[in-house]
């Protein structure tokens, strides 16, 4: 499968091209600026590169010039994209060794033909041409349209039904998930149909990324998607897929420079227990979906025959205000390991809520709720204070045993970060607990800091002046480019788990993760890989000089008392 690297700073254009390429059998990956493009080229070894000319920092000419200097890319086909057919820039590009030009907006056929010509010239005699031609007959087009949703390219209802029949012919059990966007009508109304359509395309794409395939992913209605899962250990897998979808889709979308967040609800039902045929099964999944929605949305629910009264979100909301006073909140701590020494050099504080009736409430049910109703201010302050106090207590113990002191990472949500007195709160807590500020690390996501760049820079500089460190959390999911990030005073990049997952078998994830590590280092940042679960991932990270890891391979998040014993035993990672 030919590999194509697309370097383009406009997210929609980049994703459009990748979508076309992927649906035509190419393996394709995108970079959002010249720097990332260069780094990805080195790790991903593309057979062809498509590159925008005007980009921040390193522009397209810069990329081409640098690549042509290296023997690895001396002959790799390279095509520029320009906004208009501009002779002067074309000449410059050709002199630098570009092979072709594409003028934006780029039509699908032009794109595929140009690629076929270039790959053909470079003696890629594989069946590229067949692939390119594959959708060109009327019959095939018709076939495609009858099976696929025209907006998102996902399976349509009809094809979904067929897929289900095929699946039950081969499988004795399977799960169906219905994914529904909360309050989609409001988005349609306030932002207009074009915007909403683009959003649906992005959602479809992100769902495809989470599931890893589009073979069993369908769009049923305007804002309703469905997924078939048929594997062993169904219960656990369906729940994991659902929570991965919730966490991946809770990251903001950027359309036309506007940031938007959506919430989803997911209903899950199992075949054959909850329905002997697709219609019955879908009814059960729908009941579970309604149940998730009644609970406030932004959650998944597995169908049970005796679905109990839903957790009333109003009730949860009231309870959340009382959670601190009633001692229902707790911090767990997950170790962060230095890959040079194998030692625990830090922990991330992760919030848990033990509700008296509902038991442990998952984070995606109460953190967004707390954000919406403002309770996050009080809860967040409690988190910072508890984490700093705990750290100070551990520092005393560690010093007594002559062990190294560790840092604590605390997550800040967007609303907390925008709180005008947050700087003062943090400064006061540091004074009160006498924790050395260099041992406090605040974790923020890209979407949080890019909401108001000027204000973020000044807030971050204030933390820096206190001595507090800043990590960029879930890096890679927020679509901002490296050149953009350079303006923020950061200390650590935390590469999101989605890039670490399957890194040993998925060459694209591996290439992206390695490029992120190298670029992070170029920006003088420490790089931490999140969600490291397997030895094979660790090996790649060690080899790529990643600084730190966090993940189940070493330990999940633990109650303070359990973490303390790991610290005092000076437990190390075996590499």
- List Cβ neighbours of 151 (8 Å cut-off, separation of 6 or more): 197, 200, 201, 204, 219
Q: Is 473 in the site for Mg ion (CB under 5 A)?
A: yes
Residue 193 Cβ vs ligand C2E, minimum distance, rounded to whole Å: 32
Which one, 168 or 367, has the nearer CB to ligand C2E?
367
Question: In the stretch 251-280, what mask flags binding to ligand C2E with x, by CB under 6 A?
Answer: ------------------------------
Which one, 220 or 367, has the nearer CB to ligand C2E?
367
- State the Cα–Cα distance between residues 300 and 293, nearest whole angstrom: 9
- State the Cα–Cα distance between residues 230 and 172, nearest whole angstrom: 9
Q: Is the preceding peptide bond at 272 cis, omega within 30 degrees of 0?
A: yes
Per CB under 5 A, contacts with Mg ion among 515-534 are 530
Residue 496 Cβ vs Mg ion, minimum distance, rounded to whole Å: 6
Q: Is 473 in the site for ligand C2E (CB under 6 A)?
A: yes
Where are the extended beta strands (E) located within 372-520? 407-411, 440-445, 469-475, 492-495
SS (H, E, C) 439-457: HEEEEEEHHHHCCCHHHHH
> Is there a contact between 82 and 92 (Cβ–Cβ < 8 Å)?
no
Residue 374 Cβ vs ligand C2E, minimum distance, rounded to whole Å: 13
- Strand pairing report for 224-229 and 253-255: unpaired
> Is there a contact between 271 and 259 (Cβ–Cβ < 8 Å)?
no
Question: In the stretch 480-499, what mask flags binding to ligand C2E with x, by CB under 6 A?
Answer: -----------------x--
DSSP 28: E
Q: Which does 413 bind (CB under 5 to 8 A by kind): ligand C2E, Mg ion, none?
A: ligand C2E
Q: Which of 15, 100, 474, 547 binds Mg ion (CB under 5 A)?
A: 474
Q: Which does 295 bind (CB under 5 to 8 A by kind): ligand C2E, Mg ion, none?
A: none
> Is there a contact between 118 and 85 (Cβ–Cβ < 8 Å)?
no
- State the Cα–Cα distance between residues 529 and 544, nearest whole angstrom: 11
Using only C-alpha atoms, what is the Rg of the chain? 25
Question: In the stretch 106-135, what mask flags binding to Mg ion with x, by CB under 5 A?
Answer: ------------------------------
Residue 474 Cβ vs Mg ion, minimum distance, rounded to whole Å: 4
Q: Which of 19, 474, 537, 547 binds ligand C2E (CB under 6 A)?
A: 474
- State the Cα–Cα distance between residues 552 and 14, nearest whole angstrom: 34
**The one segment of 45-53, 69-77, 146-154, 470-478 that binds Mg ion by CB under 5 A:** 470-478
> Is there a contact between 367 and 299 (Cβ–Cβ < 8 Å)?
no
Per CB under 5 A, contacts with Mg ion among 402-461 are 411, 443
Beta bridge partners of 301: 267
| CA dihedral of 201, 206, 210, 214, whole degrees rounded to 10 | 20
Residue 385 Cβ vs ligand C2E, minimum distance, rounded to whole Å: 12
Residue 552 Cβ vs Mg ion, minimum distance, rounded to whole Å: 14
Which one, 281 or 549, has the nearer CB to ligand C2E?
549
**The one segment of 11-19, 29-37, 122-130, 407-415 that binds ligand C2E by CB under 6 A:** 407-415
- State the Cα–Cα distance between residues 43 and 12, nearest whole angstrom: 24
> Is there a contact between 15 and 9 (Cβ–Cβ < 8 Å)?
no
- List Cβ neighbours of 241 (8 Å cut-off, separation of 6 or more): 177, 210, 211, 227, 229
> CB count, 10 Å around CB of 574?
7
Q: In the numeric block, which tokens belong to residue 510? A: 């591996």
Which one, 15 or 496, has the nearer CB to ligand C2E?
496
With CB under 5 A as the rule, give the number of residues binding Mg ion: 5
Residue 444 Cβ vs ligand C2E, minimum distance, rounded to whole Å: 10
- Strand pairing report for 224-229 and 174-181: antiparallel
Q: Which does 446 bind (CB under 5 to 8 A by kind): ligand C2E, Mg ion, none?
A: none
Per CB under 6 A, contacts with ligand C2E among 275-314 are none
Per CB under 6 A, contacts with ligand C2E among 516-575 are 531-533, 550-552, 557
Question: In the stretch 353-392, what mask flags binding to ligand C2E with x, by CB under 6 A?
Answer: ----------x---x------------x--x---------
- The closest residue (CB) to ligand C2E is 551
Give the chain's length: 575
Q: Which of 11, 76, 334, 456 binds ligand C2E (CB under 6 A)?
A: 334
Q: Which does 40 bind (CB under 5 to 8 A by kind): ligand C2E, Mg ion, none?
A: none
Q: Which helix (H) or strand (E) holds 548?
A: strand 548-549
Which one, 173 or 247, has the nearer CB to Mg ion?
247
Q: Which helix (H) or strand (E) holds 27?
A: strand 27-31
Q: Is 193 in the site for ligand C2E (CB under 6 A)?
A: no
Q: Cα–Cα–Cα angle for 169, 172, 178, nearest 5°?
A: 85
Largest pairwise CA distance in the chain = 77
Per CB under 6 A, contacts with ligand C2E among 139-158 are none
With CB under 6 A as the rule, give the number of residues binding ligand C2E: 21
Q: Which does 363 bind (CB under 5 to 8 A by kind): ligand C2E, Mg ion, none?
A: ligand C2E
Residue 311 Cβ vs ligand C2E, minimum distance, rounded to whole Å: 18
- State the Cα–Cα distance between residues 294 and 296, nearest whole angstrom: 5
Which one, 430 or 532, has the nearer CB to ligand C2E?
532
List residues near ligand C2E by CB under 6 A: 334, 350-351, 363, 367, 380, 383, 411-413, 443, 473-474, 497, 531-533, 550-552, 557
């Amino acid at each position: 499968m030919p590999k194509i690297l697309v370097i383009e700073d406009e997210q929609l254009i980049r994703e459009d091209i990748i979508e076309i390429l992927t649906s035509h059998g190419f393996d394709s990956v995108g970079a959002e600026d010249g720097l990332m493009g260069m780094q990805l080229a080195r790790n991903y070894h593309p057979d062809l590169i498509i590159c925008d000319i005007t980009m921040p920092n390193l522009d397209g000419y810069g990329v081409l010039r640098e690549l042509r200097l290296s023997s690895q890319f001396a002959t790799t086909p390279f095509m520029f994209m320009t906004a208009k057919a501009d002779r002067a820039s074309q000449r410059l590009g050709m002199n630098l060794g570009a092979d072709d030009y594409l003028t934006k907006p780029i039509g699908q056929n032009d794109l595929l033909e140009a690629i076929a010509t270039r790959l053909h010239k470079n003696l890629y005699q594989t069946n590229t041409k067949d692939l390119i031609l594959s959708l060109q007959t009327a019959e095939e087009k018709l076939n495609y349209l009858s099976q696929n949703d025209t907006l998102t390219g996902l399976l349509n209802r009809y094809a979904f039904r067929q897929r289900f029949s095929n699946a039950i012919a081969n499988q004795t059990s399977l799960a169906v998930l219905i994914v529904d966007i909360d309050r989609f009508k409001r988005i349609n109304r306030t932002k207009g149909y074009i915007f909403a359509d683009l959003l649906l395309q992005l959602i479809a794409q992100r769902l495809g990324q989470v599931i890893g395939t589009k073979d069993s992913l369908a769009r049923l209605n305007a804002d309703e998607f469905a997924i078939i899962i048929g594997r062993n250990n169904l219960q656990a897998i369906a729940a994991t897929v659902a929570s991965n979808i919730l966490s991946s889709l809770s990251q903001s979308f950027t359309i036309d420079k506007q940031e938007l967040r959506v919430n989803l609800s997911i209903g899950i039902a199992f075949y054959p227990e909850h329905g002997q045929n697709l219609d019955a099964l879908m009814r059960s999944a729908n009941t579970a979906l309604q149940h998730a929605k009644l609970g406030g949305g932004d959650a998944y629910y597995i169908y049970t025959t005796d679905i109990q009264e839903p957790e009333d979100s109003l009730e949860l909301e009231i309870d959340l205000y009382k959670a601190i006073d009633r001692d229902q909140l707790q911090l767990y701590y997950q170790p962060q390991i230095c890959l040079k020494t194998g030692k625990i050099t830090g922990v991330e504080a992760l919030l848990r809520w033990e509700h008296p009736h509902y038991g442990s409430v998952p984070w995606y049910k109460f953190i967004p709720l707390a954000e919406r109703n403002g309770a996050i201010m009080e809860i967040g302050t409690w988190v910072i204070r508890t984490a700093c106090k705990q750290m100070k207590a551990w520092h005393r113990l560690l010093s007594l045993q002559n062990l190294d002191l560790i840092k604590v990472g605390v997550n800040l949500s967007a609303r907390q970060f925008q709180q005008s007195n947050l700087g003062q709160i943090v400064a006061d807590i540091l004074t009160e607990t006498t924790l050395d500020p260099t041992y406090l690390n605040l974790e923020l996501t890209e979407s949080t800091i890019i909401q108001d760049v000027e204000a973020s820079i000044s807030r971050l500089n204030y933390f820096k002046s206190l001595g507090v460190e800043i990590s960029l959390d879930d890096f890679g999911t927020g679509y901002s480019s490296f050149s953009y990030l350079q303006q923020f005073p950061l200390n650590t990049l935390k590469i999101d788990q989605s890039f670490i997952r399957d890194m040993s078998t998925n060459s694209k994830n591996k290439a992206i993760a390695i490029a992120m590590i190298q670029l992070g280092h170029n920006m003088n940042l420490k790089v931490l890989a999140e969600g490291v679960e397997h030895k094979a991932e660790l090996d790649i990270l060690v080899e790529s000089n990643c600084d730190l890891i966090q993940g189940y391979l070493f330990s999940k998040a633990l109650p303070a008392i359990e973490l303390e014993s790991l610290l005092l035993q000076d437990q190390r990672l075996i590499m």
